[in-house]
Structure 1
Amino acid sequence: MKFDRKSLLLYAVTDRNWLGDETLYSQVEQALKGGVTMIQLREKEMTEEAFFAEAQSIKELCSRYGVPFLINDSVEIAAAVEADGVHVGQSDMEAGDVRRRLGNNKIIGVSAQTVEQALLAEKHGADYLGVGAVFHTGTKKDASDVSYQTLKDICAAVHIPVVAIGGITADNMKHLSGSGICGVAVVSAIFAEADIGEAARKLKCIASTVAAAEADAEIETESEAKTEAG
């Protein structure tokens, strides 16, 4: 699937902690019906065989909704199920190696917490960056907080799109306005909610407002630059 930065608007990352009596497949479908624009399957404790089976199932579901499907960390699983792409962290395979393994048509996302990491990921062929945690989060306990200023500096330093992640909710998302992001990645703000579809719809509406503000600011900056140059 060809990468489109609009797919990053509302990026849902799965987590089995809130399954209850439901299946992950059911929860992901509710999120898709609610309007999420990208799905990342994140599994840290499943066997490779179970992970592969789950990935195949969720991939087919995402295909039906026309939404990109990415795998977290496991380049091998991503290649085996022919996922649309993979997201890797700083301690995982470097973006250039991932590109050589998966090919030019796959989406590659890389986590970054500093401008230096962001620039290196872009140089090595990342399609987008996941920057965070922008707010304190209990979902990923090894994630360090990234300040608003650092997020803004990263967005200004790279030419690839940036999605913010970490502790984002419907209440605090507006505080990311003006940073330069093109979307948000969320976990519990969708999957921990009683009504997953409604949570996704609400978040997408807010994310659209934040993204629209970013687009307007970018147009204004480009206009000012042309005026100064002229």
Structure 2
Amino acid sequence: MREFSLYAITGEAFHPGRSLTEIMEEAILGGVDIIQLRDKKSSKKVLLEKAKALKALATKHNVPFIVNDHIDVALAVGADGVHVGQDDLPLQEVRRIVGPDTIIGVSTHKLEEALEAERNGADYIGVGPIFSTQSKEDVVDPVTTSYIQEVKKTIQIPFVAIGGIKRHNVQEVLDAGAERICVISEIVGAEDVRAVSAELAAVIKEAKK
């Protein structure tokens, strides 16, 4: 899959009164280089319309578009990939459904899960939550930056750190070995989405030097 550094996930609860596409476009213009639609509450019909709009936006700006969980919606809109959790369909089944060219990401919370995802053909893994977060309804204890260090030493496929990452703690995550950061509320809930995205992108770029 194409290299990326700053991954933004939708979170409409954090920007009431502002449109989904407006927020995500500002994020992309600020430096986000991959986006994901994550929506646990909307009907499939509403989700499909959101996915169509975000796919068009991602195509316009030439960034990958990922759909969380809903494989059927991802296929319906021609999304670049899907992201699944530990309780979703097994990765081999997801691959059988979406085909060889679709990006598959897998959320992992411990090294055994990361190794299994790598063995089964994931294109990238999510590593987290690094810190406590209000963005997910299912509460998982923070894995801390020590999990980043374990993955960095062991896993060969790309990984992205996620969970409670903010401007004030992103350097800690990068220092632990992460090269890709996923952010929800810090970006989509910002008053100036583009500026915050640009700040985070610059910190990641500096860390890679």
**TM-score, scaled relative to structure 1:** 0.87
SS in 2 for 1:177: helix
Q: Report the equivalent of 1:72.
A: 68
- Once residues 165 and 175 of structure 2 are traced to their aligned partners in structure 1, the CA distance between those partners, rounded to angstroms, is 16
Displacement, 1:157?
1.2
2:190 alignment partner, one of 171, 176, 193 = 193
- Once residues 143 and 60 of structure 1 are traced to their aligned partners in structure 2, the CA distance between those partners, rounded to angstroms, is 33
Higher RCO, 1 vs 2 (CA within 8 Å, ≥6 residues apart): 2
Q: Is the 8 A contact 1:155 1:161 kept in 2?
A: no
Please give the per-residue CA displacement for 1:35-75, whole angstroms capped at 9, x wherever unaligned: 10100000110000010011011101110100000001111
**TM-score, scaled relative to structure 2:** 0.96
2:108 pairs with 1:132 = no
1:36 alignment partner, one of 29, 32, 36 = 32
2:98 pairs with 1:99 = no
Structure number with greater Rg is 1
Q: Which ranges in structure 1 are unaligned for 5 or more consecutive residues?
A: 214-230
Q: Report the equivalent of 1:218.
A: none
Q: Is the 8 A contact 2:10 2:36 kept in 1?
A: yes
Q: Which ranges in structure 2 are unaligned for 5 or more consecutive residues?
A: none
Please give the per-residue CA displacement for 1:66-100, whole angstroms capped at 9, x wherever unaligned: 00000011111111111000110101112211111
Q: Report the equivalent of 2:177.
A: 180
SS in 2 for 1:181: coil
Q: Is the 8 A contact 1:12 1:187 kept in 2?
A: yes
- Once residues 98 and 206 of structure 2 are traced to their aligned partners in structure 1, the CA distance between those partners, rounded to angstroms, is 34
RMSD: 1.2
**One-letter code aligned to 1:200:** S
Displacement, 1:32?
1.1
